[in-house]
Amino acid sequence: MKHYQILIIGGGTAGITIAAQLKRKDSSLNIGLIEPSEKHYYQPAWTLVGAGAFDFKETERDEADYIPKGVDWIKGEATAIDPDLNQVSTANSGDFTYDYLIPVPGLVMAPELLPGLTEAMDKGVVCSNYTDPEHTWEVLQNFKGGNAVFTQPTTPIKCGGAPQKIMYMAEDYFRKKGIRNKTNVLFATPGTVIFGVPEFAKTLNKIIHDRNIIFKPFYAPIRIDPEKQEIFFQYSKPGESNCTLMEGNPLGEELTGATEIKVHYDMLHLAPPQAAPKFIRDSKISIQEGPGKGWVDVDIHTMQHKRYPNIFSIGDVAHLPTAKTGAAIRKQAPVLVENLLRLIQSGEAGNKSYEGYSSCPIVTGYGKMLLCEFKYDNVKDSDPMISTFVDTTKEQYSMWLLKKYGLPFMYWNLMLRGKA
């Protein structure tokens, strides 16, 4: 059985960034990295791919080009973690033991959690930038009018802002195409507000109002009928045991139960339900019961596991009360690396602290973007340098350029190389 000083599970944004930073700090570290995929994707650009503003091929690179020198790539899937034995099992490479474990496999799409979605997914007029952004662009181009429905599930998802980004882009596209006057654009979310940070929500609420977008909070999607092109929502406002709809509402919504609403769609974009991979959910390293069930049980500031001190985790599978984004990983990784190295060197973990920073670059149309930056408790947390020159609570062309050119460059050349 092969042994590694540090074993990383996952070669996505978190895994590669951590491996690169560790190797930069100490090239003698003995590191193994478990990852099945041959390709590495820059997923933040998929929002733009779905709106025809970015080439999908530009978001794809070979994984091999980004595994840091001196790190062993174990090409395969992790299938089980036994933290009591310090052991990880894989599908085709056997078992590995470790001194320190960093499980950062990202999350998985779970369309089966929304009845009807598996059958409908990425076919016909149902699309998702999370799975096939090129299909989204086809759907937009073929759309002739009617109800354009955009929604998201009740599960945690990566990049919580993405379901509304494509909605703004689509709405702008329908205007350019001359079909906006015969289109209802609906954004339905199980959430209570358009965005959790008040300073940014104010701007987004104004955009929704000015562009005549129908916003429905407390709408949790519960099933889809792909044949009839209907989606059903549960109205989930606390304390409301029934729901009333106005006669002649523009969407043609119908009540199908006390708090159940049916909407016909002529196009449907959604973020599928998402979950931690099964081997994480089934392992003792995940929270066993309660609200965080199935996610890795780490300290929200130090990234160290609460019960197994030789395990650290960040990114999408870690139970952290902030948005699951690449920007969050960029701030989490250095904290993990420093605290882990201190543990290796002195036997006691460092106390570098992560304060919950995440960022959601919300594109609000072609050539316009809001850079929403925040930390724990939905407190605005804008980059001091950027906010000196730019009011990030307003739509900006400069921020669009950052999204389209600056951030991808930074990702491939700096972040994945352990330099940012």
- 243 part of the active site: no
State mean pLDDT over 168-186: 98
Per-residue pLDDT band at 240 (split at 50, 70, 90): confident
Q: Please state, as a whole number, how many other Cβ atoms lie within 10 Å of the Cβ of residue 407.
A: 21
* DSSP-derived 3-state class of residue 185: strand
Q: What pLDDT is attached to residue 261?
A: 96
Say if CB 286 and CB 276 are below 8 A apart: yes
Q: What pLDDT is attached to residue 341?
A: 98
Rounded (5°) CA angle 281-282-287: 55
Check whether 247 has a pLDDT greater than 80: no
State mean pLDDT over 56-76: 98
Check whether 391 has a pLDDT greater than 80: yes
Enclosing H/E stretch for 7? strand 2-9
User: What is the average pLDDT score of the chain?
Assistant: 96
**Among 127, 159, 243, 372, the one annotated catalytic:** 159
Check whether 382 has a pLDDT greater than 90: no
Q: What pLDDT is attached to residue 253?
A: 95
**What is the distance between the alpha carbons of residues 15 and 57, in angstroms, rounded to a whole number?**
22
Q: What pLDDT is attached to residue 272?
A: 98
Per-residue pLDDT band at 248 (split at 50, 70, 90): confident
Check whether 385 has a pLDDT greater than 80: no
Tell me: the pLDDT tens digits for 330-360? 999 999 999 999 999 999 999 999 999 999 9
pTM of the model: 0.96
Per-residue pLDDT band at 389 (split at 50, 70, 90): confident
**What is the distance between the alpha carbons of residues 194 and 161, in angstroms, rounded to a whole number?**
9
* DSSP-derived 3-state class of residue 380: strand
- 159 part of the active site: yes
390-400: string of b/e by CB count within 10 Å (b at 16+)?
A: bebbebbeebb
Tell me: the pLDDT tens digits for 119-172? 999 999 999 999 999 999 999 999 999 999 999 999 999 999 999 999 999 999
Q: Which position has the higher pLDDT, 385 or 202?
A: 202
Q: Is 289 exposed, middle or buried (0-12, 13-18, 19+ CB in 10 A)?
A: exposed
Beta strand spans in 274-389 (E)? 274-275, 358-365, 368-375, 379-380
* DSSP-derived 3-state class of residue 153: coil
Say if CB 233 and CB 260 are below 8 A apart: yes
Q: What pLDDT is attached to residue 74?
A: 98
**What is the distance between the alpha carbons of residues 75 and 36, in angstroms, rounded to a whole number?**
5
Rounded (5°) CA angle 7-11-12: 135
Q: How far is CA 79 from CA 36, 73, 174, in A?
A: 11, 16, 45
**Among 127, 243, 360, 372, the one annotated catalytic:** 360
Check whether 246 has a pLDDT greater than 80: no
- Domains of the chain and any CATH numbers: 2-107+276-353 (3.50.50.60), 111-273 (3.50.50.60)
Q: What pLDDT is attached to residue 344?
A: 98
